[in-house]
Amino acid sequence: MADRHAPSRTALVAQARDSIMRGSKSFAAASRLFDSQTRERVWLLYAWCRRCDDLADDQDHGGVLGPAAGAQDRLATIRTLTELAFAGEATGDPAFDALGVVARETGLTRAMADDVIGGFALDADDWRPRSEADLLQYCFHVAGAVGVMMAVVMGVSPTDEDTLDRACDLGLAFQLANIARDLDEDDAAGRCYLPLDWLVEADIPPGEHMKPHYRGALVPIVARMCAMAQDYEVSARIGAARLPLRSRWAVLSAAGIYGAIGREVARAGEHAWDHRVTTSTAAKLGFVAKALAQCLLPPPGSAPALPWTRRQLAERARAA
């Protein structure tokens, strides 16, 4: 039973809705496609993800990254409050109380949450990927593991390993597209998620990949990343077919929108970072309509060969 001093579920849902409206208007709009129960649970989970992200980066619903000092202390706070939430205790923070509610309602596990927190730990350590496997390891923590939790919130059994694999694949696809799009912003914040091996192969000195005279050499690297994102997206669409209709519609809409971002970055070549690639409202509505039609069609017959799967990445993380 939840601690009697925790806010009511109604209050937590209202606060979670406010959080998603502030933090991601696109995600808030997409959440309308869910049935009411799933929508509320998605909001509750989003609130925890958003709050963890803000704590880790010393922000308030995104924006300019805060100072790196104190990152380990903030990470410890995330872990402590998450542990309290799974224990059913009031945390003093509505977003963590929201996690406790949705975990009890759906079967989310502490291990799933720990996989997400692993991404904040990497950033707190000022980590940089050396290899493709490292890159996908990071994407697994910050997005693939979130996809797994979202799938459970949508009604997938926590023991349905194959469908959870597909949900993770969608998160990997999203994060790869995000990294490709946000290279310039990350560079300004002193971060780089391109594998060192890839930069070395392209004769780009580490830390200098966004300088104008390296743009030409950077394009094939980014194209490689965007192609990888597309392969993971195709795999994810197979799993989406197993979701209830409205959840399937929402997931396929998001896949179309984020897939378009990656494809536009690849198409723009050297000009991909002249301005931030976005999707217009009209285009988003188009993807929503297209996704509804896709709900009535059979999914892709088979997925492309993927370099790493969820279970491989999870094992790799626990062995580190």
The confidence score (pLDDT) of residue 300 equals 77
The confidence score (pLDDT) of residue 2 equals 43
Q: Which tokens belong to 53?
A: 């992200």
Chunked mean pLDDT (size 10), the chain, 320 residues:
71 96 83 94 97 87 64 95 96 97 97 96 92 97 97 96 96 96 91 95 94 95 96 94 94 92 94 91 92 89 89 90
Domain identity same for 167 and 82: no
Domain identity same for 20 and 84: yes
Domain identity same for 106 and 148: no
- Sign, CA dihedral 153-156-158-161, equals negative
**Neighbouring C-alpha atoms within 13 Å toward the C-beta of 33:** 23
Is residue 3, in this structure, part of any structural domain at all? no
Q: Which tokens belong to 284?
A: 């988003």
Instruction: Quote the CA–CA distance of 304 and 265 in Å, as a whole number.
Output: 21
> CB-based burial of residue 110 (10 Å sphere; 0-12 exposed, 13-18 middle, 19+ buried)?
middle
User: In Å, what is the CA distance from 187 to each residue of 64, 192, 206?
Assistant: 13, 6, 11
Is residue 34, in this structure, part of any structural domain at all? yes
Domain identity same for 34 and 83: yes
Q: What letter would DSSP give residue 80?
A: H
Longest distance between any two alpha carbons in the chain, whole Å: 61
Q: Which domain holds residue 70?
A: 8-125
How many residues are listed for the chain in this entry? 320
Domain identity same for 39 and 143: no
**Neighbouring C-alpha atoms within 13 Å toward the C-beta of 296:** 4
On whether the pTM is more than 0.85, the answer is yes
Q: What is the CATH number of the domain that holds 249?
A: 1.10.600.10
Domain identity same for 26 and 77: yes
Domain identity same for 134 and 105: no
Domain identity same for 115 and 173: no
Structural domains in the chain (count): 2
The confidence score (pLDDT) of residue 238 equals 93
Domain identity same for 236 and 95: no
Instruction: Quote the CA–CA distance of 26 and 54 in Å, as a whole number.
Output: 18
